[in-house]
Amino acid sequence: MNKTLKQQFEEVVNAYLLEFCNKHDFDYAEAKRIWVANKPGGVVLCGDYYVDFDEIRTDIDRDAPEEEFWKYQDYLIDAHTFGFRCPNYENWLDGCPRLSKEQINEIIAGRHRIEKMKEQLEETIKDYEQGIKL
């Protein structure tokens, strides 16, 4: 055996990455050189997205519809931004329970209301500190 297991693993991982990049129109050459911490098989930067190898493998092995990856990425961003749980990609493809777009929009609206109230509170405190009575 001429190749080490590590070399074989990296070849397989990069073969998956190539298929994934072709499927989703990412630049393979760029992605291949941007495995986080230089560890193929972990997390890779594809365009503006950090993608875990498990997501890549699941996407290719399950021949997931292309749009599902983008829906999942949007959901991930919302989940991280607003602090709710996000399933892994495999469970996502299986149709696990998740928040609807309407529920996410409600969370976004609530956050905007809170930010507006915070601004009003800060303004009130500033006015008070300046000696203005309301």
- List pLDDT tens digits, range 113-125: 999 999 999 998 8
Give the separation between CA 107 and CA 44, rounded to whole angstroms: 30
pLDDT band at 104 (very low <50, low <70, confident <90, very high): confident
19 pLDDT exceeds 80?
yes
Give the chain's radius of gyration (CA, Å). 22
Average pLDDT, whole number, for the chain? 92
Smallest CA-to-CA distance from 43 within 52, 54, 31 is with 52
| Rounded percentage of the chain residues whose pLDDT exceeds 90 | 72
Contact in structure between 128 and 103 (CB atoms under 8 Å): no
**Tens-digit pLDDT profile for residues 32-85:** 999 999 999 999 999 999 999 999 999 999 999 999 999 999 999 999 988 888
Give the separation between CA 95 and CA 87, rounded to whole angstroms: 10
Q: What is the pTM of this model?
A: 0.77
pLDDT band at 134 (very low <50, low <70, confident <90, very high): low
Give the separation between CA 17 and CA 56, rounded to whole angstroms: 7
Which 3 state secondary structure label does DSSP give 131? coil
Give the separation between CA 33 and CA 36, rounded to whole angstroms: 9
1 pLDDT exceeds 60?
no
